[in-house]
Structure 1
Amino acid sequence: MADIEEARRTFDQFDADGDGFITAAEWKSAMAKMGDFYMTETVAEAVIGAKDSDADKRLSFDEFWASLKK
């Protein structure tokens, strides 16, 4: 996914409360909506942590976009 517009749409789907950040709980919920019922909060925290460049335990769009471009 290298298209920034598509990335923004995906980010917005994950950002359930619309605050501009994706938390582990939002990640887990979005994955469940896509059929991954095995995503745990712990795994979601690890996924967020791997992409979270400022270590605030949530993903901004810039962090999300940077992770997609790698």
Structure 2
Amino acid sequence: MADIEQAKATFARFDQNGDGMVTAEEFKHAMAEMGDPYVTGPVAEAVIKARDTNNDGLMSFEEFWTALQKA
């Protein structure tokens, strides 16, 4: 099980505009900043879609946390 404070800090790195939601573009950009330039647009979209339980095209912290709990 992940530590929620660590998860919040990690989520904040992805949520670049601070609106509480992560877009595929934000995810791709954050992954590149963390040293993974191979996360393409389609890969980022697939990751967000896999965690997007309410189908709004975005990943909330709650969705991120839930995904971490399953890992």
Which TM-score bucket, shorter chain as reference?
A: over 0.9
Q: Kindly state the Cα deviation for residue 29 of structure 1 after the two structures are TM-superposed.
A: 0.3
**Does residue 22 of structure 1 match 2:22?**
yes
**Does residue 61 of structure 1 match 2:61?**
yes
Match of 1:5? Answer: 5
Unaligned runs of 5+ in 1: none
CA distance in 2, matches of 1:11, 1:34: 13
Deviation >3 Å, runs of 4+: none
Instruction: Report the secondary structure of 1:45's partner residue.
Output: helix
CA distance in 2, matches of 1:36, 1:47: 14
CA distance in 2, matches of 1:10, 1:34: 11
Report the TM-score when normalising by structure 1: 0.97
Report the TM-score when normalising by structure 2: 0.95
CA-based RMSD of the aligned residues comes to 0.8
Q: What percent identity do the matched residue pairs reach?
A: 59
CA distance in 2, matches of 1:35, 1:5: 22
- Tell me how many residue pairs correspond in the alignment: 70
CA distance in 2, matches of 1:15, 1:56: 16
